[in-house]
């Protein structure tokens, strides 16, 4: 076996080892670039595999040769595809490389072996052309990069070109022993080049990278000494970009808050803010530390995604770098993936410490200057000495304290200010400091330049280098007299404090207290000093107090305790009293002392109890006033009802006699005067109706109706009420179910809500009214206690000022209003609520300040059909009456007389009675049937319903028609009449009276007619 054979076998084995290593790396890291690299290595290896097979076993089978040849011929395409992953390659270039592969594969597959010489030349020529183009692309990428990446890409380009030359020689006409040897030599050279590109030794890679890193370091060292750190880091990023060849470079540093922040970068449009440290950890933990930052399905860290978007790149490669003892990162931002950059990136990132040191030069200089200013500005005497005790620095405070100037002391032994008798102790203290110990504050005697001695509090500490070597001693001195004066001032303030003041240590020992504390607890001062504070607390709270004391000393921040629930303290005599305490921490030479301010709350709680009593009394008085107000309104309502009753009687007389005169007078002037009298009576009747409505003694005339018709009837009036500055919108559901309600009350609801909305929109707005059906179930969140079922919803919404939550809670309270005095009674929404609940429904209210208010009225739906508009309510009043007997009971003589005349003219037989007793007597003595009892409601001695009860006992079949303008004795709680009660409201016209009578009597006439009844009237 010759040397070429051994070399071929060795290279083939090495290629297989590289392929196995790349496959293992791909399985571990899933780097999308590795398959492309593996395909290139595998294609090159096919040449050596074929050679080994031919040397070992001779000519292999044709399928084996064709398969391996096809893989070998695909090597240029694999190289172009690999390059397209790391730099822009036109699509036509990839297509051309693929077409060339197909063009070379067809002859190899179809033609017999060996191929005709012409075909072989076409195959190897095409292969060579594509291979040279691929080598050119690799060389161009190598020129763009630096360090080990440039060397490795250059070797890859050389290997690709030489591999093309090897196959060109192998397939040319000059094939012979010499050409074959040259071809194999070039192929071996190509293999070596590829090995240097894809698997170079570590020491060689580091050498290449070191050369590039040196260029970056040289740029850093060229920076001016006072260059700002930001510009130094910018210089570092620019050098890294030049060496590594990425599109952009950024440095990410840790922040004091525990996050990370991009500190510097090249040509980044904007610097993003702070990011969580987990983002950087994910980047560094992502092998091989390269992420596709714009691939959302991979959930990249937000840090990488933001930087990629800001720089117009996509792939982010991270390398760890140490900054100030914490982990940062060097980020390379590329539009494409990177190849062979790991060594350069690691080495450039390793220069971070040097870059930080260079960047910190200006910071160190500035810090030294600031330290010098601080030392010079300090009120304490700060002196530094070397290991021989020679003074090296002396600040202005030391000049003032000791009387020596800096020029006099620097370079002299520090013992010049130490009295001779204290120099031995001074030397021992300095020896301790030079061993690295810190000597805390000690009160020592020092001698001034004028020979006077002063006592100072002295602290001595060693001056050390970063490696811990002690190079000197620094001392800080302060005149104790200042502290003594401060202590005296503190004692004065303590005694002058109005509250009891105590000072305790960590174990609860009382170390100071003022006279107020001794007096409050009943002790002498010496009885409490040195004692535990627990003796001032009840026994059952001492354990909890000890735990709280430990917690407070762990975090001593000012606190106030006992403000909500008073604490309890104990006097010397055992009595307890409520107290409020405040805690604060005082730092002293002996450690932390907690100052406790104690305030006796006995008088405050007594005063608070008195205030509560007065507030309760005031609230009770307010309730009484509201109750009296309500009672006055109730009295007014009763008065209005009584006045309305008497007034209705008078109006009934006036109206009835006016009608009689109109029937008998022909003079036009007289008839005109009578008409004016009738009109005035109608107006007076309307005023009486308003009195009854105010007193809530009006009669509710519920009927089945369509809510949409009510809205339509009142819409024009609402528009006039709202004014032109408010836009009214109605949205009425044509499928809205009927409801059983009084139409006048529904109109009142709409009018009240419209007026409220108008007042809430003084500058204009929109009022919306809509209706629809709603179904309530058991689980629905509905207002009030409405049972489940079907309801019709009336919703009124405005775009007004809205209500605050505290106003919304009281909106339905009677007499509650936010309008100015005289602008509202506070009964608008209360009336709406009352009318809605009277109809069996409920109201809900929603409002937001500045948005508007929505009032929703829910009314029970009914399955009955509403009456047709304009339908006749009963028989015509002009219909002739048959001879029937009516018993008329009325205590007002004039009204009784005119009513009897109306009935007599209508053909009825009338029996009259002035009161209930006379009516009962008449009914008992009248021999014939009484077809109708027409009775007033309110009469002296006996009311109308009592009269009806007595007469029905005599004539059970007699129906009753009541006449009154004040029907309170008959009204139910919701203002409606019982179903068996019929009333004609005073004042009435003859037509209204006769219509009500015929509605009652005509259905009975067919079965209860009495033709024998006499004509005429009886008084």
> Quick one: which H or E segment has residue 436?
none
Mean pLDDT of 714-732: 89
Of 818, 797, 788, the residue nearest 806 (C-alpha): 818
d(CA 900, CA 892): 12
d(CA 667, CA 70): 132
Other CB atoms within a 10 A radius of the CB of residue 452 amount to 9
Mean pLDDT of 404-425: 88
Mean pLDDT of 520-537: 87
pLDDT score, position 271: 54
Q: What tokens appear for 60 in the block?
A: 């292999």
Mean pLDDT of 435-462: 84
Say what the pTM is: 0.39
Secondary structure class of 459 (helix, strand, coil):
strand
Alpha helices in 33-116 (DSSP H): 34-57, 62-73, 75-84, 91-110
pLDDT score, position 360: 67
Percentage of residues of the chain with pLDDT beyond 90: 10
Q: Alpha carbon of 498 to those of 482, 486, 503, 598, 600: distances in Å?
A: 26, 20, 16, 10, 11
pLDDT score, position 172: 65
pLDDT score, position 875: 46
Running DSSP on this structure, what letter comes out for residue 727? E
Q: What tokens appear for 843 in the block?
A: 């109201």
Chain center to CA of 709: 45
The model's confidence at residue 880, banded by pLDDT at 50, 70 and 90, is very low
Q: What tokens appear for 911 in the block?
A: 């029996």
Mean pLDDT of 93-97: 88
How close are the terminal C-alpha atoms of the chain, in Å? 159
The model's confidence at residue 746, banded by pLDDT at 50, 70 and 90, is confident
Of 686, 681, 688, the residue nearest 661 (C-alpha): 681
Above 90 in pLDDT, residue 933?
Answer: yes
Running DSSP on this structure, what letter comes out for residue 934? E
The model's confidence at residue 33, banded by pLDDT at 50, 70 and 90, is confident
Q: 210-214, 270-274, 492-496, 908-912: lowest mean pLDDT where?
A: 270-274
Above 90 in pLDDT, residue 533?
Answer: no
pLDDT score, position 735: 93
Of 565, 571, 634, the residue nearest 601 (C-alpha): 565
pLDDT score, position 68: 77
pLDDT score, position 706: 92
The model's confidence at residue 369, banded by pLDDT at 50, 70 and 90, is confident
Please tell me whether the peptide bond between 987 and the residue prior to it is cis, using omega within 30 degrees of 0: yes
pLDDT score, position 1019: 32
Question: Which residues are bridge partners to 189 per DSSP?
Answer: none
Above 50 in pLDDT, residue 399?
Answer: yes
Please tell me whether the peptide bond between 114 and the residue prior to it is cis, using omega within 30 degrees of 0: yes
Which tops the pLDDT comparison, 169 or 913?
A: 913
- Reported for 260-267, long-range contacts at CB under 8 A and 24+ positions apart, including other chains, are 260/303, 260/328, 260/329, 262/303, 262/307, 262/331, 263/230, 263/233, 263/328, 264/230, 264/233, 264/234, 264/236, 264/237, 265/234, 265/237, 265/307, 265/311, 266/234, 266/237, 266/238, 266/241, 267/311
Size (the chain), residues: 1019
pLDDT score, position 815: 58
Q: 188-197, 338-347, 437-446: lowest mean pLDDT where?
A: 338-347
Other CB atoms within a 10 A radius of the CB of residue 551 amount to 10
- The pLDDT tens digits of the residues spanning 937-977 come to 878 888 888 899 999 999 999 999 988 766 555 544 444 45
Cβ neighbours for 372, distance < 8 A, ≥ 6 positions apart: none
Above 50 in pLDDT, residue 899?
Answer: yes
Q: What tokens appear for 650 in the block?
A: 């008078």
Q: What tokens appear for 847 in the block?
A: 């409002």
- Reported for 198-207, long-range contacts at CB under 8 A and 24+ positions apart, including other chains, are 198/18, 198/37, 198/41, 198/152, 198/156, 199/14, 199/18, 199/21, 200/148, 200/152, 200/155, 205/148, 205/152, 205/343, 206/148, 206/343, 206/347
d(CA 85, CA 77): 13
pLDDT score, position 951: 92
pLDDT score, position 738: 94
> Quick one: which H or E segment has residue 135?
helix 117-144
Above 60 in pLDDT, residue 800?
Answer: yes
Which tops the pLDDT comparison, 240 or 157?
A: 157
pLDDT score, position 861: 93
DSSP-based helix, strand, coil % in the chain, nearest 5:
50, 20, 30
- The pLDDT tens digits of the residues spanning 591-642 come to 788 888 888 888 888 888 888 888 888 878 766 765 664 465 456 556 655 6
Q: Which residue has the tokens 């109206």?
A: 655
Chain center to CA of 109: 70
Above 90 in pLDDT, residue 733?
Answer: yes
Burial of 626 (0-12, 13-18, 19+ CB in 10 A): middle
pLDDT score, position 814: 60
d(CA 253, CA 317): 15
Above 60 in pLDDT, residue 186?
Answer: yes
Above 50 in pLDDT, residue 802?
Answer: yes
Q: Would you list the DSSP string of 541-570?
A: GHHHHHHHHHHHHHS---EEESSSS-EEEE
Above 50 in pLDDT, residue 1?
Answer: no
Other CB atoms within a 10 A radius of the CB of residue 800 amount to 24
Mean pLDDT of 437-465: 84
Q: 109-118, 127-136, 902-911, 923-932: lowest mean pLDDT where?
A: 109-118
Mean pLDDT of 763-780: 86
Q: What tokens appear for 818 in the block?
A: 């936010």
Alpha helices in 145-245 (DSSP H): 147-170, 177-198, 202-221, 229-244
- The pLDDT tens digits of the residues spanning 541-576 come to 888 888 888 888 878 777 665 555 568 888 988 888
Q: 473-477, 902-906, 977-981: lowest mean pLDDT where?
A: 977-981
Q: What tokens appear for 516 in the block?
A: 């107020």
Q: What tokens appear for 855 in the block?
A: 């009032």
Secondary structure class of 595 (helix, strand, coil):
strand
Above 70 in pLDDT, residue 297?
Answer: no
Above 90 in pLDDT, residue 52?
Answer: no
Mean pLDDT score across all residues of the chain:
79
Which tops the pLDDT comparison, 417 or 679?
A: 417
Secondary structure class of 474 (helix, strand, coil):
strand
Q: Pairing relation of β-strands 453-464 and 439-447? A: antiparallel
Mean pLDDT of 313-320: 85
Cα angle value 900/905/906 (rounded, 5°): 100
Chain center to CA of 807: 26
Secondary structure class of 441 (helix, strand, coil):
strand
The model's confidence at residue 485, banded by pLDDT at 50, 70 and 90, is low
Above 70 in pLDDT, residue 822?
Answer: no
d(CA 750, CA 762): 19
Running DSSP on this structure, what letter comes out for residue 91? H
Cβ neighbours for 743, distance < 8 A, ≥ 6 positions apart: 703, 705, 710, 713
Secondary structure class of 39 (helix, strand, coil):
helix
Mean pLDDT of 723-748: 89
Please tell me whether the peptide bond between 483 and the residue prior to it is cis, using omega within 30 degrees of 0: no
Running DSSP on this structure, what letter comes out for residue 850? T
Cβ neighbours for 174, distance < 8 A, ≥ 6 positions apart: none
């Amino acid at each position: 076996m010759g040397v070429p054979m051994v070399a071929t076998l060795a290279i083939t084995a090495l290629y297989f080892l590289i392929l196995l290593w790349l496959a293992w790396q791909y399985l571990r890291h899933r780097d999308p670039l590795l398959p492309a690299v593996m395909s290139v290595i595998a294609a090159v290896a096919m040449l050596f595999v074929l050679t080994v097979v031919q040397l070992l076993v001779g000519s292999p089978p044709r399928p084996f040769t064709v398969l391996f040849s096809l893989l070998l011929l695909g090597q240029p395409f694999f190289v172009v595809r690999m390059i397209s992953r790391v730099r822009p390659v036109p699509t036509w270039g990839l297509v051309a490389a693929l077409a060339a592969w197909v063009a070379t594969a067809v002859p190899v597959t179809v033609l017999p072996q060996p191929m005709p010489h012409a075909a072989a030349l076409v195959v190897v020529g095409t292969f060579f052309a594509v291979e040279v183009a691929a080598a050119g692309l690799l060389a161009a990428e190598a020129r763009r990069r630096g360090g080990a990446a440039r060397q490795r890409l250059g070797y890859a380009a050389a290997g690709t070109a030489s591999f093309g030359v090897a196959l060109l020689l192998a397939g040319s006409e000059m094939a012979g022993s010499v050409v074959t040897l040259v071809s194999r030599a070039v192929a071996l050279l190509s293999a070596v080049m590829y090995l240097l590109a894809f698997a170079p030794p570590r020491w060689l890679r580091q050498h290449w990278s070191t050369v590039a890193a040196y260029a970056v370091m040289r740029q850093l060292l060229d920076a001016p000494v006072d260059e700002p750190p930001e510009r130094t880091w910018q210089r570092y990023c620019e050098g890294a970009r030049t060496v590594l060849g990425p599109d952009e470079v950024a440095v990410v540093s840790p922040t004091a808050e525990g996050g990370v922040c991009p500190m510097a970068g090249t040509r980044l449009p904007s610097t993003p803010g702070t990011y969580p440290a987990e983002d950087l950890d994910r980047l560094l933990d992502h092998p091989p530390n390269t992420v596709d930052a714009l691939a959302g399905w991979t959930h990249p860290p937000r840090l990488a995604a933001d930087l990629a978007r800001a720089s117009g790149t996509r792939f982010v490669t991270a390398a760890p770098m140490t900054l100030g003892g914490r982990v940062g990162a060097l980020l390379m931002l590329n539009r494409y993936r990177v190849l062979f950059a790991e060594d350069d990136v690691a080495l450039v990132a390793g220069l971070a410490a040097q870059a930080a040191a260079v960047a910190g030069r200006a910071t160190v200089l500035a810090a030294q200057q600031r330290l010098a200013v601080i030392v010079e500005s300090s009120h304490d005497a700060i002196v530094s000495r070397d290991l021989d005790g020679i003074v090296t620095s002396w600040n202005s405070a030391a000049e003032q304290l000791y009387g020596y100037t800096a020029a006099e002391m620097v370079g002299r032994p520090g013992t010049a200010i130490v009295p001779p008798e204290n120099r031995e102790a001074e030397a021992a203290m300095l020896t301790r400091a030079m061993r690295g110990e810190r000597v805390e504050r000690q009160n020592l005697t020092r001698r001034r330049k004028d020979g006077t001695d002063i006592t100072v509090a002295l602290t001595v500490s060693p001056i050390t280098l970063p490696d811990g070597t002690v190079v000197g001693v620094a001392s800080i001195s302060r005149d104790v007299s200042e502290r003594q004066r401060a202590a005296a001032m503190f004692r004065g303030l303590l005694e002058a404090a109005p509250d009891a003041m105590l000072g305790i240590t960590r174990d609860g020992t009382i170390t100071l207290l003022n006279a107020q504390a001794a007096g409050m607890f009943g002790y002498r001062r010496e009885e409490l000093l040195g004692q535990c504070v627990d003796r001032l607390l009840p026994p059952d709270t001492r354990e909890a107090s000890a735990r709280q004391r430990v917690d407070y000393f762990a975090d001593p921040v000012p606190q106030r305790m006992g403000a909500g629930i008073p604490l309890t303290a104990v006097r010397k005599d055992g009595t307890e009293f409520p107290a409020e305490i405040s805690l604060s921490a005082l730092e002293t030479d002996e450690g932390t002392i907690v100052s406790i301010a104690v305030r006796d709350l006995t008088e405050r709680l007594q005063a608070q109890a008195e205030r509560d009593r007065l507030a309760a009394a005031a609230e009770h008085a307010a309730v009484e006033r509201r109750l009296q107000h309500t009672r006055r309104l109730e009295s007014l309502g009763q008065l209005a009802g009584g006045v309305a009753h008497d007034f209705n009687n008078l109006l009934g007389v006036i109206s009835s006699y006016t009608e009689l005169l109109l029937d008998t007078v022909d003079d036009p002037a007289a008839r005109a005067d009578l008409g004016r009298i009738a009109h005035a009576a109608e107006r007076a009747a309307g005023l009486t109706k308003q009195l009854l409505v105010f007193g809530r003694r009006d009669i509710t005339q519920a009927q089945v109706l369509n809510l949409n018709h009510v809205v339509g009837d009142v819409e024009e009036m609402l528009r006039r009420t709202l004014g032109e500055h408010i836009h009214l919108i109605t949205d009425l559901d044509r499928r809205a179910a009927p409801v059983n309600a009084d139409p006048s009350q529904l109109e009142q609801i709409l009018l009240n809500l419209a007026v409220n909305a108008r007042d809430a929109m003084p500058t204009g707005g929109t009022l919306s009214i809509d209706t629809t059906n709603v179904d309530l179930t058991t689980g629905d969140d509905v207002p009030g206690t409405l049972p489940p079922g079907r309801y019709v919803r009336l919703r009124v919404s405005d775009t007004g000022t809205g209500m605050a939550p505290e106003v919304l809670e009281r909106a339905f309270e009677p007499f509650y209003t936010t309008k100015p005095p005289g602008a509202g009674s506070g009964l608008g929404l209360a009336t709406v609520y009352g009318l809605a609940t009277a109809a069996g429904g409920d109201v809900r209210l929603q409002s937001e300040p500045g948005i508007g208010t929505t009032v929703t009225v829910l009314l029970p739906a009914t399955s009955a059909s509403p009456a047709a508009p304009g339908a006749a309510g009963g028989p015509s009043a002009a219909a002739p009456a048959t001879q029937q007997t009516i018993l008329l009971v009325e205590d007002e003589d004039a009204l009784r007389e005119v009513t009897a005349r109306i009935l007599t003219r209508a053909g009825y037989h009338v029996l009259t009675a002035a009161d209930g007793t006379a009516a009962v007597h008449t009914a008992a003595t009248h021999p014939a049937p009484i077809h109708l009892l027409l009775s007033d409601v309110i009469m002296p001695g006996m009311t109308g319903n009592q009269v009806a009860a007595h007469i029905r006992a005599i004539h059970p079949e007699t129906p009753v028609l009541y006449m009154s303008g004040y029907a309170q004795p008959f009204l139910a709680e919701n203002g409606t009449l019982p179903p068996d009660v019929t009333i004609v409201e005073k004042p009435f016209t003859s037509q209204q009276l006769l219509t009500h009578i015929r509605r009652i009597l005509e259905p009975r006439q067919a079965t209860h007619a009495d033709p024998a009844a006499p004509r005429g009237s009886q008084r």
